[in-house]
């Protein structure tokens, strides 16, 4: 039986009317939507097949065309049953063959094509959030290897001890990774934790948290301990605890001033931790922020953001300030998304508005580049799964402004914390889609390295290991059911 993707594309090729179910699928499937746009352009004369060869496409257009038509090139049926007839089909096949050969012998890399699977929205009292970036050395230091990676090898690991999504993963000073909390298949908040040993390639149990937590934060402190704060388990948690790898134990870190989940937490240059936004009691959206001081093991109030934010990002800049972008407040018909951004200044303890992004976005990600600028990727508009972005933009701290950057190969969202700098300084995107994408070192374009594909992961974690490999753990896919899967990705 043909998949709904193939059924819909067959109908589009024949210029047939779509029913309500098929129209709904077209509105949520990026690949089918691109295929529909390509056919429409061809039929309206905006693009004819021959012009693809005569008038070279931009890299973004190349990727869009390849993604849209590749399944039909495989089956030699792009125009076989269209109203243009068999002659157009033959001409199209020849032209497309030349086009594919042109791309093959160019520097463009197709990567591996993996069909996008549908997904259902997760609706619960706490916006899911996981994945915390932490490394034992400065990831923004000058890197020795500046050769772009072209190959990724997917190394499947033994499964974790528990299913997890909206959990955290933190690289410890000894090279192991601490994974905490999250939710399991029945969406209960977990109090279990485990340790991944990249040398032995094993997961082993670690002490339990004081309470179950999901959508909490985990922040590596300068002394190698890990601050676990907030989260949701039916209640919005104000409690915090500290993991000490020397004693392999958790101890209390007091309580935040406000119970919150889906917040952001950033280690500041002075060793303190900024915690901002999220959701709180009564499904409220929080504008407040607070500071954790590891010297006193206490939280204290700091300035508030300009608006309440959830599903936002926080990025430490080179000057020690913190960039907050996007997010939302409200739910469903009352949701309000933001394009706004603001900067937190630790010296004054205040937030000030800076330039705005080009579009409103939430459930996106942000990663600081080696040159100090910040790359913003993906996310979604008010339609959530029906409005996922493939757009990116760059924040320049020297001007306080955002500028548009190149489009992604795949739309992606729910990938907070899974964008990292690799050992050669390249930005890599892991979550929210079914393929890894790398940003070129010397130009603002994205490409998919050749090698194995990976299933779409939402609210997974991505952790760069000390040897440069990246551990992907947990999350969920189309089934919206957390799993135990883990992979190590190696780049060459």
Which are the contacts of 398, defined by CB distance < 8 A and separation ≥ 6?
none
Supply the DSSP symbol for 68.
Answer: H
Predicted confidence (pLDDT) per residue in 6-19, tens digit: 565 566 655 566 77
Please indicate whether residue 481 or residue 449 has the higher confidence score (pLDDT): 449
Same structural domain for residues 90 and 165?
A: no
**Within-domain flag for 347:** yes
Range of weakest confidence among 29-33, 127-131, 191-195: 127-131
60: pLDDT strictly greater than 90: no
164: pLDDT strictly greater than 80: yes
**Within-domain flag for 112:** no
Same structural domain for residues 173 and 303?
A: yes
- In 3D space, the residue among 335, 338, 239, 211 whose CA is nearest the CA of residue 324 turns out to be 338
Give me the mean pLDDT over the 346-351 stretch. 98
- At 22, is the pLDDT very low, low, confident or very high (cuts 50, 70, 90)? confident
Give me the mean pLDDT over the 136-156 stretch. 65
- Which of 104, 121, 137 is at the close of a domain? 104
- In 3D space, the residue among 397, 387, 396 whose CA is nearest the CA of residue 362 turns out to be 387
Average pLDDT, the chain: 80
In sequence order, the β-bridge partners of residue 353 are: 342
Predicted confidence (pLDDT) per residue in 213-240, tens digit: 999 999 999 999 999 999 999 999 999 9
Give me the mean pLDDT over the 142-156 stretch. 75
**Within-domain flag for 122:** no
**Within-domain flag for 135:** no
**pLDDT at site 441:** 84
**Within-domain flag for 133:** no
**Within-domain flag for 374:** yes
**pLDDT at site 47:** 37
**pLDDT at site 105:** 35
Same structural domain for residues 97 and 171?
A: no
- Which of 74, 104, 134 is at the close of a domain? 104
Cα separation, 221 vs 227, in Å, equals 7
**pLDDT at site 334:** 93
Predicted confidence (pLDDT) per residue in 63-82, tens digit: 444 444 444 433 333 333 33
62: pLDDT strictly greater than 50: no
Strand order in the sheet with 249-255: 217-220, 226-229, 239-244, 249-255
410: pLDDT strictly greater than 80: yes
Percent of the chain at pLDDT above 90?
63
Give me the mean pLDDT over the 275-284 stretch. 96
CATH number at residue 166: 2.120.10.80
**pLDDT at site 315:** 98
pTM: 0.73
The total number of structural domains that make up the chain: 2
**pLDDT at site 354:** 98
Same structural domain for residues 94 and 219?
A: no
Predicted confidence (pLDDT) per residue in 178-192, tens digit: 999 999 976 689 999
Are 288 and 281 spatial neighbours (Cβ–Cβ below 8 Å)? Answer: no
- At 122, is the pLDDT very low, low, confident or very high (cuts 50, 70, 90)? very low
Measured CA distances, 371 to 252, 353, 367 (Å): 38, 22, 11
Angle at the Cα of 415 from the Cα atoms of 409 and 421, rounded to 5 degrees: 75
**Within-domain flag for 146:** no
Range of weakest confidence among 211-225, 364-378, 429-443, 446-460: 446-460
**Within-domain flag for 118:** no
Domain region containing 230: 151-491
């Amino acid at each position: 039986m043909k998949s709904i993707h193939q059924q819909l594309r067959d109908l589009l090729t024949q210029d047939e009317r779509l029913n309500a179910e098929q129209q709904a699928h077209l509105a949520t499937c990026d690949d089918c939507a691109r295929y529909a746009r390509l056919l429409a352009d061809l039929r309206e004369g905006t693009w004819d097949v021959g012009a693809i060869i005569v008038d070279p496409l931009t890299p973004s257009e190349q990727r869009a065309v390849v993604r849209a038509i590749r399944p039909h090139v495989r089956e030699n049926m792009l125009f076989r049953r269209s109203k243009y007839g068999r002659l157009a089909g033959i001409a199209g096949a020849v032209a497309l063959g030349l086009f594919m050969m042109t791309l093959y012998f160019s520097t463009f890399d197709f990567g591996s094509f993996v069909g996008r699977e549908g997904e259902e929205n997760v609706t619960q009292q706490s916006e899911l959030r996981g994945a915390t970036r932490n490394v034992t050395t400065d990831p923004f230091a000058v890197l020795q290897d500046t050769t772009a990676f072209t190959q990724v090898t997917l190394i499947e690991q033994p499964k974790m001890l528990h299913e997890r999504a909206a959990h955290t993963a933190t690289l410890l000073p000894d090279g192991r990774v601490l994974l905490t909390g999250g939710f399991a298949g029945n969406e209960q908040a977990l109090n279990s934790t485990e340790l991944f040993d990249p040398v032995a390639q094993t997961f082993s149990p670690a002490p339990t948290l004081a309470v179950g937590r999901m959508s909490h934060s985990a922040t590596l402190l300068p002394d190698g301990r890990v601050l676990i704060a907030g989260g949701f388990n039916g209640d919005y948690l104000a409690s915090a605890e500290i993991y000490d790898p020397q004693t392999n134990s958790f101890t209390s870190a007091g309580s935040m001033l406000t119970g919150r989940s889906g917040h952001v937490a950033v280690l500041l240059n002075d060793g303190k931790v900024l915690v901002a936004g999220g959701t709180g009691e009564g499904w409220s959206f929080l504008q407040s922020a607070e500071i954790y001081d590891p010297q006193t093991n206490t939280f204290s109030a700091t300035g508030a953001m300009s608006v309440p934010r959830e599903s936002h990002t926080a990025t430490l800049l080179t000057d020690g300030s913190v960039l907050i972008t996007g997010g939302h407040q409200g739910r469903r018909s009352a949701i309000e998304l933001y394009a706004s951004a603001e900067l937190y200044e630790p010296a004054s303890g205040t937030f000030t508005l800076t330039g705005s992004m080009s579009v409103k976005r939430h459930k996106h990600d942000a990663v600081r580049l080696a040159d100090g600028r910040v790359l913003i990727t993906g996310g979604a508009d008010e339609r959530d799964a029906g409005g996922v972005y493939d757009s990116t933009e760059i924040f320049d701290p020297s001007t306080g402004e955002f500028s548009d950057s190149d489009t992604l190969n795949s739309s992606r969202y729910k990938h907070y914390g899974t964008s990292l700098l690799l050992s050669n300084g390249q930005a890599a995107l892991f979550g929210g889609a079914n393929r890894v994408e790398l940003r070129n070192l010397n130009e603002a374009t994205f490409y998919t390295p050749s090698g194995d594909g990976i299933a779409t992961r939402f609210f997974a974690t991505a952790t760069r290991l000390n040897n440069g490999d990246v551990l992907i753990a947990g999350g969920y896919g189309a089934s919206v059911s957390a799993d135990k899967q883990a992979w190590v990705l190696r780049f060459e």
